[in-house]
Amino acid sequence: MEQNQRKYTDAEIKEEDKKIRHLRRLVDFSFALIAQTPMPIDEAQAVVQGVKKHAVNLFPGKEATFDLVYTPRFRRLIAEKYSLL
């Protein structure tokens, strides 16, 4: 183990896990909302932007991670729902 690596407390690990679970639930709910609700495409895109904003608030500096992990999923859903393929 490197000497510069920081040890995380159990409380910090639990808090991080809590934030991850919260984000997963939010993403799952938003995905279902977009898929199952008749809404205009701009509203669907606004939902995605709201989720991203919340994710960045939970995990500052991790916008690129959101773009890597979640943006492609949302993009595919919107493309399929609104026949953009």
Mapping DSSP onto H, E and C, the string for the chain reads: CCCCCCCCCHHHHHHHHHHHHHHHHHHHHHHHHHHHCCCCHHHHHHHHHHHHHHHHHHCCCCHHHHHHHCHHHHHHHHHHHCCCC
The reply to whether the predicted model has a pTM over 0.75 is yes
Specify the amino acid at residue 73.
Answer: R
pLDDT band of residue 4 (cuts 50, 70, 90) is low
CA angle at residue 61 from 71 to 29, to 5 degrees?
40
Specify the amino acid at residue 22.
Answer: H
Annotated domain spans of the chain? 39-85
pLDDT tens for residues 19-45? 999 999 999 999 999 999 999 999 999
Mean pLDDT of the chain: 94
Tell whether the model's pLDDT for residue 1 goes beyond 70.
no
pLDDT tens for residues 40-74? 999 999 999 999 999 999 999 999 999 999 999 99
